[in-house]
Amino acid sequence: MKPIKIKPDIYWVGAIDWDLRNFHGYLTQRGSTYNSYLIIDEKITLVDTVKHYKFDEMAARIKQVIDPSKIDYIICNHVEMDHSGSIPKMLEIAPNAKIFASPNGKRGLEFHFKVADDVQVVKQGDEIKIGKRTLQFYPITMVHWPDSMMTYCPEEKLLMPNDAFGQHIASSQRYADELEWGLVYEEASKYYANIVMPYGPMVNKALKIASGLDIDMIAPSHGLIWRKDLGKIISHYAKWANNETEEKAVIVYDSMWHSTEKLAYALHDGLEDAGVPTVMRSLQANHISDVIADVLTSKGVFIGSPTLNNGMLPTMGGFLTYMGGLKPTKRIGFAFGSYGWGGQSIKEIHKFIVDLKWEAPFEGFNVQYIPSEEKLAEIRETGGKLGEMIKKKVPVES
């Protein structure tokens, strides 16, 4: 439980949650961290805290650097309790600390902990001198809550943007460049898809602010710190914020008696014929928080469910509700499924696609009971057409 020096007199003093597997419904198979940063200057400053049950771990790291009672300032970039949950206990061991938060942060802290009297509000561009260093504050509303803000230290070229640029990874390593890029990318993109995706316009504003700052390190509040090739993760954020996707597809489906599954695989064959990489995501085998990461980067999102009790399967209802909240745009959608006598699932899924304002070149594909060879050939052909649309060889309207 050592503090890790990330800059001269600046330490990571967060906590590693190795056992975390569910973050309000988001499966975190690799655990997570809650990152706090301790700055030793004339005014000793702690940037963010950790979940309440990780307080002892954070306090142990702090105590290896300094007596916590000497902490002057606590910066609360974000009130969500994975970052603010230890503030009440911190105030017990750092009784003279003043808290800095955005206006919404102050309100949030009052609701959560009744500590608003200790909070000084900071607004866009405000700064405080803490000695040799300056801390500047930039609200990034809705990335991830209305209170969210970034703290920037120009003397150290250090940006602490809280949730932005985070990943749910528990690791002995502290820097993104110490792990294999594929793993870090997988978790950074899954994090964006599940936490940040609805707020693309606000992410763009945050990126614009960041582009005007001289930064050589991005220290988020979850996972690994970015200190090399910052342009790489920033450019991915820019793409994701603008709903730019890749020429690939994801087929999300569930099935009762394998008919919808047969359609899903025939559709896959058609996409394969067109040369479009396509992943199969059965909702019986995949969690929605993993599937949404495929949606983040896929131009084609094709959705299949049989009809049950005059509607779609509840697994699909859950997935679409989740995806609807995350609001991906600029996709090509397609509904397919099987039915016995009602057939309503396709209409429901198609309406969902239309409501998201995706391109929907086909009304949907519905098969009674078991798909014949002819029907499988038909949906395979449709898959081929959708593949060509993904590759932009033919206009989506055709």
Query: Per rule CB under 6 A, is residue 51 in the interface with ligand FEO?
Result: no
Q: Does 236 bind ligand FEO (CB under 6 A)?
A: no
Neighbours of 2 (CB within 10 A): 11
The Cα angle at residue 93 between residues 92 and 95, in degrees rounded to 5: 65
Question: By rule CB under 6 A, what count of residues binds ligand FEO?
Answer: 9
Catalytically annotated residue among 57, 78, 156, 268: 78
Site string for ligand FEO, 61-90 (x = CB under 6 A): -----------------x-x-xx-------
Q: Is 205 an interacting residue with respect to ligand FEO (CB under 6 A)?
A: no
Residue among 191, 192, 237, 339 flagged as catalytic:
191
> How many CA within 13 A on the CB side of residue 59?
17
CB 197 within 8 A of CB 240: yes
C-beta of 101 vs 316, nearer to ligand FEO: 101
Verify binding: residue 221, ligand FEO, rule CB under 6 A. yes
Note if 112 is an active site residue: no
Q: Could you please report the per-residue DSSP string of 254-309?
A: --SSSHHHHHHHHHHHHHHHTT--EEEEETTTS-HHHHHHHHHHEEEEEEE--EET
Q: What is the 3-state secondary structure (H, E, C) of 37-99?
A: EEECCCCCEEECCCCHHHHHHHHHHHHCCCCHHHCCEEECCCCCHHHHCCHHHHHHHCCCCEE
- Looking at the Cβ atoms of 145 and 152, the one nearer to ligand FEO is 145
Q: Which of 222, 236, 268, 350 is catalytic?
A: 222
Residue 24 is a catalytic residue? yes
From the list 19, 24, 214, 397, the catalytic residue is: 24
Annotated catalytic residue 268: no
| 249, 299 Cβ separation under 8 angstroms | yes
User: Is 222 a residue that touches ligand FEO (CB under 6 A)?
Assistant: yes
Q: For residue 129, count CB atoms less than 10 angstroms from its CB and return exposed for 0-12, middle for 13-18, buried for 19 or more.
A: exposed
What residues from 160 to 199 belong to the interface with ligand FEO (CB under 6 A)?
Answer: 163
* Annotation says 222 is catalytic: yes
Shortest separation between residue 14's beta carbon and ligand FEO, angstroms: 12
Q: Which of 153, 151, 129 is nearest to 140 (CA)?
A: 151
Catalytic residue list contains 17: no
Catalytic residue among 11, 73, 144, 192: 144
Instruction: Considering the candidates 163, 187, 261, 388, report the single residue annotated as catalytic.
Output: 163
Identify the DSSP state of 175. B
Structure tokens given for 331: 């996709």
Residue reference for tokens 């990874």: 169
- Closest approach, Cβ 166 to ligand FEO, in A, equals 7
Of the candidate residues 144, 168, 281, 385, the single one contacting ligand FEO (CB under 6 A): 144
Residues engaged in binding ligand FEO (CB under 6 A): 78, 80, 82-83, 144-145, 163, 221-222
Positions marked active-site: 24, 78, 80, 82, 144, 163, 191, 222
